[in-house]
Structure 1
């Protein structure tokens, strides 16, 4: 390493580039950091999504259908979980996301107790900030569920979460990191069923890590979603929820109210909700996650065409 005041050429170039980035950012921030974009153009709808395949697909269905109806759209998919994307919708950095009524209600009001579809939807509408709206909910529900292997269920005589409670002190439970703290997650299982687990293992949101851990037995129970095609593929068992720890989870468009000035926007999103049910959503997930890994945009276009929307 030279000890003179001279900086080696490569280092000098890197420092110069960083200096330009800092100047462009006003000199005071992390040039490699990211922040939400400014609000979209008034004539554009910026469509966002959470960071799991089904939600991205639903966002693509919304974006494609709006484009077909002549609405200018921008895509901003894979933002993160609700704790990340909801503030962006609230603040106008994103205009539209597909959401799920029950989990959205618990996010807005952790003390909410509604579980029936109509009650959950009504309470969501009441608790949203005045700048936001939920449009017509679909019949499609993607509910969290406590899932075990069929062998585990048979061996332990387990059909419901209530049956599982006696085994909880011996179990490692897997799921997305946020399941550890969300009201319907580990706290909800303890409160509703007296299920105090031996351990929780943070994995992914209804993804391959959770499925693999359940298959391999590194977790004995897990949080997976009711529309996940891996349930049937692996012969997993979704345990009954007799005390309704998990509320109704209808797919619903969450949108900035200012973007509803054009009637075509609500019309096409309501039409999508009218056509979408749980079986259809499960099949769409199966297609997207199939071995050939088709382009989700093509899956979205194909379904919109078959539904008479595209």
Structure 2
């Protein structure tokens, strides 16, 4: 029973991490209309930056300064924002599917760099010794509970920031760019400038929260930063509702609980292989069902904005 309980602690922790990623993706795709398929590249940049900055006495890498963890987190956020700026300047000159393909290509470039820069990332071997906060005070299963609380506190903070942005004039401006770019341009709005700022902001959040992902996995190799991360975040967003406020959080929770619970079943080695593959089948089936019967997601944008307008009306009366 205890093992099952801590299994779900791990599932909820992972769901919280994907809730963060899906919320930031919602800012990009749901409100600004930037369909980003390269978010895992920015997460990888943040994760590796944090690990490299906090590494100590590692003869296999050329740079291991052993800096404090808070410096590593700030460095991860800064690296994510910088790489997002480098990607965003050329990518945001195109629209629609061209932007989508460009971000996917940049993510693959980053993935190949993590494999081939052996003196920096240790290639396919990666890192297994990762500095985690409060580990000297809480260890074992107690640390897993602590990490669960930490992840969801940060997910809650991200939710509050995104909610504030959605209700602010800036959020309405982004939705205006998404719905009718020519009208926004005719009103003198610098669409590219705002889109680049939004993309860089998303990169900062991806990079700054990437340490949560490596703290949970306790490892960092190119394989853990695969396209699956992007696909799961997108699926969570679609299930919850694109452009809604709470949809990404709800979608991530439901999706991870469904897909990860499949692996809980016990059996033979052959069954374990089948169940590991069935996880992706279940993920695809959930996505198909939602797109068939609830294409706007569990919480639609109109429903989310309707609640916000009702609250604003109450405060003004």
TM-score by length of 2: 0.27
Higher share of residues assigned helix: 2
The structure that has the greater radius of gyration is: 1
Between 1 and 2, higher relative CO (CA 8 Å, sep ≥ 6) is seen in: 2
